[in-house]
């Protein structure tokens, strides 16, 4: 590691929704994400007007967000992301709804909710996050200078 840099790890526990393990950079938003009209399923990016992540890609990242908003078509758009190879590596969310549960299942990526701490306080965009939805464990590696 370069001089002046260190890392620290934070471990959180929660409830796995879709099993599996993933390790990737985090992309964090405190805003819910709309499926239909909110994401570009060909690129795996947020296109929703006035969304703080507009223009950013979640493809291959651990998407940390409250959950789904909009119509029941939400899951179809995330399913298309999976088919197009543009899905997130994993999902961490805070609001369980039937729409969110179905979306997580059809996306087929590790998903976890009900963490024992506030993920929006603990995880920042760019942190390395390991999601073990089999065991309900999220490990965050923070880089500090």
CA distance 71 to 69: 7
The alpha carbon of residue 121 and the mean position of all alpha carbons in its chain are separated, in whole angstroms, by: 15
Indicate the DSSP class of residue 116. Answer: S
CA distance 103 to 121: 24
State the DSSP H helix or E strand holding residue 99, giving kind and residue range, or none if neither.
helix 98-107
The alpha carbon of residue 130 and the mean position of all alpha carbons in its chain are separated, in whole angstroms, by: 11
- Check 6, 34, 45, 71 and give the catalytic one: 71
The alpha carbon dihedral of 92, 97, 101, 106 has a sign of negative
Residues forming a β-bridge with 24: 129
Q: Is 45 a catalytic residue?
A: no
**Catalytic residue annotation:** 71
């Amino acid at each position: 590691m370069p001089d002046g840099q260190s890392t620290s790890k934070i471990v959180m526990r929660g409830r796995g929704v879709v099993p599996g393990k993933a390790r990737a950079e985090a992309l964090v938003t405190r805003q819910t994400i709309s499926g239909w009209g909110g994401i570009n399923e060909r690129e795996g990016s947020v296109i929703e007007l006035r969304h703080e992540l507009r223009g950013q890609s979640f493809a291959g990242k651990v998407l940390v967000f409250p959950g789904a908003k909009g119509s029941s078509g939400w899951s179809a758009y995330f399913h298309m992301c999976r088919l197009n190879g543009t899905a997130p590596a994993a999902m961490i969310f805070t609001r369980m709804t039937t729409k969110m549960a179905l979306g997580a299942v059809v996306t087929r990526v590790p998903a976890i909710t009900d963490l024992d701490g506030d993920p929006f306080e603990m995880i920042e965009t760019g942190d390395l996050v390991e999601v073990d939805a089999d065991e309900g464990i999220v490990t965050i590696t923070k880089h500090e200078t």
